[in-house]
Structures are given as C-alpha cells and as structure tokens.
C-alpha cells in the first residue's frame, strides 16, 4: 500500500507518534524509493482489524485505501470484482457508484 510523506505524517499524528517511530514500525521502503505500509503475511494491511475486518485508521486512511475497491486491477474482469467482494465486507453493498465516479477513483492509483 503506497503512502506519501504527507500521509505518513497524518497517520503518525493520528496515532500520537513521531514520524520516525511510525515509519520504523509501519512503513517499508520499496524499490525506487517509494514507501508502503507494512502488510501482514496474508497481504492485509497492518491497520486492518483481524476480527472486524475494519480499518483502524479509517478517517485518515491513505489515498490508495480511499480509492479501494476501484483499483484498475479489481476492475479488469467480473471475476476480479467478485473476488474482491468475497474478501471485503463493504464491497458490493451500499450505494451504487456511477461509471464516472468509479473511473475517477480508479485514476487515482495504478494498481
């Protein structure tokens, strides 16, 4: 999950931590100098509650999370969409988004 320096700062503030401490615990460097939040061995974000499957930092979640599930990789096929709906308790429920809204969210992140 890619995060910007600003998103890291906001998350650290939310958890009442110094940025350096937050990065040491929750951020990893990717090739090319980009940064990502740490993930559990199964690929879940470290801030996804194991039991409720809800985000623990929802109000300040990074752009990548805000655009989920409308990532290009989730929208490639009906099968990809059905797969994400099986793993995310909020997918496929709630209000319907227009094609324009989905395309706008999908354009925010390249996953």
Confidence (pTM): 0.76
pLDDT in tens, 15-59: 999 999 999 999 999 888 889 999 999 888 899 998 888 889 999
List the domain boundaries for the chain: 1-63, 67-111
Q: What's the pLDDT score for residue 111?
A: 62
Higher pLDDT, 91 or 109: 91
Determine phi and psi for 55, rounding to 5 degrees.
-75, 130
Q: What is the DSSP letter of 18?
A: -
Position 19 scores a pLDDT of 97
Residue 94 has pLDDT above 70, yes or no: yes
Locate all alpha helices (DSSP H) within 32-92, ordered by sequence: 63-66, 72-75, 78-87
Report residue 89's pLDDT band, with 50, 70 and 90 as the boundaries: confident
Tokens describing residue 3: 């995060």
């Amino acid at each position: 999950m890619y995060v910007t320096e600003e998103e890291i700062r906001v998350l650290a503030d939310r958890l009442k931590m110094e940025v350096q401490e937050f990065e040491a615990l929750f951020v990893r460097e990717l090739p090319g100098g980009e940064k990502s939040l740490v993930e559990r061995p199964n690929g879940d974000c470290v801030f996804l509650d194991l039991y409720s499957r809800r985000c623990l930092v929802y109000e300040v979640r990074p752009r990548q999370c805000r655009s989920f599930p409308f990532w290009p990789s989730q929208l490639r096929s009906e099968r990809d969409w059905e797969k994400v709906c099986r793993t995310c308790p909020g997918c496929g429920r709630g209000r319907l988004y227009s094609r324009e809204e989905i395309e706008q969210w999908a354009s925010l992140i390249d996953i």
